[in-house]
Every structure is written in structure tokens, then in C-alpha cells.
């Protein structure tokens, strides 16, 4: 019987344009990777092996999942997604068999992207991870990643906040070919993300200056936190019976977020 892990998930209608705050260098690297994936025949003739695995690492809420979805959509792939912790089971053999069935289903629906968030739970260093069961599950993952010709048109994308925890064998080229560091956005990046989330919302007349201010006053915010600011500000406007979001709604949202956070840096890194 299929479990929910081995079913393709519907992809939201997003592209790389919907992921803000990526450095120019990273955008360029991602576009190059995409063109290799899209032009496989050409790449092979030029002696370039298409990447099998991509690692996205960085703090929570910085858009790693969003990026994986955008990549899958750009290459027209079906999207299988799950969390590393879904494979760490107490029952003997369950983790390894889940890995097998996930890859088997994805191969049936090629081109496919398999996305595993919190991959450190599944591919953590063997010693640190401990336990025979975890080791068997990781070994199965490595076997599947090495799946030879069967992995044609199958792209594995893993995400983690703890790259330092990952097993060296997992990170080997041929398994993970590219690693992208997805960082907290700087002021320019925050403005890009803010503009993405402002789209389609009714904002007050002097929105341009207000959004610029918001980007300046959100040092240390992740994309997810910026997105949450818009949700809170929209709710504040509704509560006041308005159909436009004003500066005071963002002030309210900022107060709520900052009061709930004590570890935010005071300046851009
Ligand atoms: P985690 O490490 O906690 O799994 P993540 O890095 O995968 O987090 P996402 O799940 O992609 O982060 O982000 C959550 C939401 O925050 C996104 O759906 C989006 O609305 C918003 N968001 C995060 N980063 C960005 C970004 N770079 N550009 C635009 N929106 C973003």
C-alpha cells in the first residue's frame, strides 16, 4: 500500500521570481543548473553530467522549500516531498522500506523531484545518529541515490538547517552535486521579499516609502517572518474595518513580532 510519503504533491504556482533575496551569484548558479537539467541531451554531448542531488542549507524560513518547489516547476517535474524525520522509525526496516518506496514511486512519475526537508534526521553522521536502524535507513538512501540509469530525470533536493551534522558519504559528489547556502536576507533581499508579498494586496497610497522603511527596520527577519508580517498587518486592517493596509498595521505587526523574539541581531551581518 502507498503511504502519503510516496505520493506526488501538487505544486503551488511559483517560479524563481517568487523567491526573493537570493544573491546574484546564487541566482546565476541556479539558472545554470536548471539549464543543464532542461537541456540534458546537449549537456551530455558537452560531457556535462546532469546533477543528481542538490543541498539547500541555511536558517529556518529562508525559502529552501519554496526554492525546491520553484526548481521542480521550472523543469516540469512532479514533486514528492517529505521530512527526514518521517523516515526515522522505531520499527525494524520501516525507514529503509519508506525510502525505497518513495524512490520507486518517483521513478514511475519521471521527471520527478524528491524533496526531503530536515534531511539531517535521515542523513546525519552515522556515529552521531547512532542506532542500527538509522544506519540502515541512511544506507538505503545512499543506494537509491546511486541508482544508476534508473535515476535519469530524477532530481533529489535536500534541505537542512544543520549542514554540519550531515554524513560525509551523503555529501559525496554524484549524490549531492551542488550545495547552496540560503542565508537570511540583507536589506536589499528583504525589500525583494517584501515586494513579492506586497503583490496583490491593497496598500495605502504612500506604499513605496512604507515598504522601503519596512525593509530597513526588519534586520534579522527571515522570508517566513516577513511573510507573517504581511498576514498580521492584513488582519490588523480587517479588524479596523479597512480594505487598505497602512503603516500603523505594519507597526502593530512589527511590535508583535519583536516582542515575541529576543534573539534578533541588531544589524545586518
Ligand atoms: P525551514 O528550514 O523551516 O523548513 P524554509 O527555508 O524551507 O524553512 P520556506 O518553508 O520555504 O522556508 O518558507 C516559508 C514561507 O515563507 C514561504 O512559503 C514564503 O511565503 C515565505 N518565504 C520564505 N523565504 C522566502 C523568500 N526568500 N522569498 C519569498 N518568500 C519567502
Q: What is the pLDDT of residues 188-202, one digit of tens each?
A: 999 999 999 999 899
CA distance 157 to 148: 17
* Residue whose CA is at the smallest distance from ligand 1 atom 1: 60
Residue 150 confidence (pLDDT) above 90: no
Give the per-residue pLDDT at 263. 46
Give the per-residue pLDDT at 153. 85
Sign of the dihedral defined by the CA atoms of residues 256, 258, 259, 260, in that order: positive
Instruction: Let me know: does 54 contact 180? Beta carbons within 8 Å.
Output: yes
Q: Is the CB of 19 under 6 A from ligand 1?
A: yes
As a whole number, the mean pLDDT across the chain is 88
Q: What interface predicted TM-score (ipTM) does this complex get? A: 0.98
Give the per-residue pLDDT at 241. 95
CA distance 38 to 76: 9
Residue 69 confidence (pLDDT) above 90: yes
User: What percentage of residues in the chain have a pLDDT greater than 90?
Assistant: 66
For 95-149, how does the pLDDT look when each residue is reduced to its tens digit (9 = 90+)? 889 999 999 999 999 899 999 999 999 998 864 555 777 888 999 999 999 986 6
Q: pTM to 2 decimals?
A: 0.90
Top-confidence residue, 151 or 218? 218
From the CB of residue 182, how many other CB atoms can be counted at a distance below 10 Å? 23
Name the helix (H) or strand (E) containing 154.
strand 154-160
Residue 3 confidence (pLDDT) above 60: no
Residue 225 confidence (pLDDT) above 80: yes
Q: Is the CB of 60 under 6 A from ligand 1?
A: yes
CA nearest to 11, candidates 51, 82, 66: 66
Best residue among 14, 20, 23, 62 to mutate for probing ligand 1, ranked by most atoms within 8 Å of CB: 62
Question: pLDDT category, 229, cuts 50, 70, 90?
Answer: very high
* Residue whose CA is at the smallest distance from ligand 1 atom 11: 63
Give the per-residue pLDDT at 245. 96
Q: What is the mean pLDDT of the segment spanning 1-15? A: 76
Q: What is the mean pLDDT of the segment spanning 72-94? A: 86
DSSP type of residue 92: T
CA distance 78 to 109: 7
Q: Length of the chain, please?
A: 269
Give the per-residue pLDDT at 216. 95
Residue 50 confidence (pLDDT) above 60: yes
Q: What is the mean pLDDT of the segment spanning 232-244? A: 94
What is the distance in A from the centroid of ligand 1 to the CA of 44? 33
102-109 contacts: CB < 8 A, separation 24 or more? 102/5, 102/6, 103/144, 103/147, 103/154, 104/6, 105/2, 105/6, 105/7, 105/8, 105/80, 106/6, 106/8, 106/78, 106/80, 106/154, 107/150, 107/151, 107/154, 109/8, 109/78
Amino acid at each position: 500500500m502507498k503511504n502519503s510519503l510516496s505520493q506526488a504533491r501538487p505544486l503551488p504556482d511559483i517560479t524563481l521570481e517568487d523567491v526573493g533575496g537570493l544573491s546574484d551569484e546564487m541566482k546565476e548558479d541556479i539558472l545554470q543548473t536548471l539549464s543543464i537539467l532542461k537541456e540534458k541531451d546537449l549537456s551530455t554531448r558537452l560531457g556535462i553530467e546532469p546533477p543528481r542531488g542538490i543541498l539547500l542549507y541555511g536558517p529556518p524560513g529562508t525559502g529552501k522549500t519554496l526554492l525546491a518547489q520553484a526548481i521542480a516547476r521550472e523543469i516540469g517535474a512532479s514533486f514528492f516531498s517529505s521530512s527526514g524525520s518521517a523516515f526515522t522509525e522505531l520499527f525494524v526496516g520501516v525507514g529503509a522500506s519508506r525510502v525505497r518506496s518513495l524512490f520507486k514511486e518517483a521513478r514511475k512519475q519521471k521527471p520527478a523531484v524528491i524533496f526531503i526537508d530536515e534531511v539531517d534526521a535521515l542523513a546525519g553522521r552515522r556515529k552521531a545518529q547512532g542506532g542500527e536502524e538509522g544506519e540502515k535507513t541512511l544506507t538505503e538512501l545512499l543506494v537509491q541515490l546511486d541508482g544508476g540509469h534508473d535515476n535519469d530525470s530524477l532530481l533529489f533536493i535536500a534541505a537542512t538547517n544543520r549542514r554540519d551534522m550531515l554524513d560525509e558519504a551523503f555529501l559525496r559528489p554524484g549524490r549531492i552535486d551542488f550545495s547552496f547556502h540560503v542565508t537570511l536576507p540583507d536589506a536589499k533581499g528583504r525589500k525583494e521579499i517584501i515586494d513579492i508579498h506586497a503583490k496583490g494586496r491593497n496598500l495605502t497610497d504612500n506604499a513605496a516609502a512604507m515598504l522601503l522603511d519596512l525593509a530597513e527596520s526588519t534586520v534579522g527577519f527571515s522570508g517566513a517572518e516577513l511573510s507573517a508580517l504581511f498576514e498580521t498587518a492584513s488582519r490588523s486592517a480587517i479588524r479596523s474595518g479597512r480594505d487598505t493596509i497602512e503603516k500603523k498595521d505594519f507597526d502593530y505587526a512589527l511590535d508583535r513580532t519583536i516582542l515575541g523574539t529576543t534573539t534578533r541581531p541588531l544589524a545586518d551581518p
